[in-house]
């Protein structure tokens, strides 16, 4: 059994009601259900969300120690968290896949969203496909 850690940053617990015109009307529980249904046999989805940078950093440390591949939507931390970048770097530099995902395409949005502190240490990036971004990341990890 392989576990895939699906980490979600601040405000993503509000999916469903948060700016639905951008992020859609489905919730994080819907995402969990869909990923669990899409996961091929032998893959377990461990989906978590936190508004706390420290908690996300701790979960990335655990992923390194357990050698767990990570799908990471860093949300707003994408654009300013060096702590999260340094933690993500430990995952990818250990040879464990870490895929940065976004529901929206930040490059079509405000200037401050054009910078990602995570992309430079991610194995790959998928953005702009709503829940499909996570599904594509899962397919990539499952295919390896």
Of 125 and 142, which has the nearer Cβ to ligand DQA? 125
Question: Is 90 one of the binding residues for ligand DQA (CB under 6 A)?
Answer: no
Question: Coil, helix or strand for 74?
Answer: coil
Residue 104 engages ligand DQA in binding (rule: CB under 6 A)? yes
- Rounded CA separation 28/34 (Å): 10
Q: Among 92, 102, 122, 135, which residue sits at the site for ligand DQA (rule: CB under 6 A)?
A: 102
51 assigned to a ligand binding site? no
* Of 42, 105, 50, 127, residue with least CA distance to 81: 50
CA distance 99 to 120: 11
Order of strands across the sheet that contains 70-73: 43-49, 2-8, 70-73, 98-102, 124-127
User: Is 23 part of the annotated catalytic residue set?
Assistant: yes
User: Residue 46 carries which DSSP code?
Assistant: E
Complex with ligand DQA: residue 97 or 102, whichever CB lies closer: 102
Q: Please give the backbone phi and psi of residue 77, each rounded to the nearest 5 degrees, phi first.
A: -60, -25
Is residue 8 at the binding interface for ligand DQA, with CB under 6 A as the rule? no
Candidates 49, 50, 68, 78; binder of ligand DQA (CB under 6 A) is 78
Q: What residues line the site for ligand DQA (CB under 6 A)?
A: 11, 73, 75-76, 78, 102-104, 106, 113
Residues forming the annotated binding site for substrate?
A: 73, 79, 86, 103-104, 113
């Amino acid at each position: 059994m392989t576990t895939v850690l699906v980490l979600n940053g601040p405000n993503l617990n509000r999916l469903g009601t948060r700016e639905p015109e951008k992020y859609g009307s489905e919730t994080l529980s819907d995402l969990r259900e869909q990923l669990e249904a899409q996961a091929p046999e032998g893959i377990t989805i461990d989906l978590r969300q936190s508004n706390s940078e420290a908690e996300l950093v701790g979960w990335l440390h655990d992923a390194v120690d357990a050698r767990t591949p990570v799908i990471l939507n860093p949300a707003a931390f994408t654009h300013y968290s060096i702590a999260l970048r340094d933690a993500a770097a430990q995952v990818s530099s250990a040879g464990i896949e870490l895929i940065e995902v976004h529901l929206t395409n930040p490059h079509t949005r405000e200037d401050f969203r054009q910078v990602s502190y995570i992309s430079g240490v991610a194995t790959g990036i998928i953005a702009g496909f709503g829940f499909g971004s996570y599904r594509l990341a899962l397919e990539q990890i499952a295919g390896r």
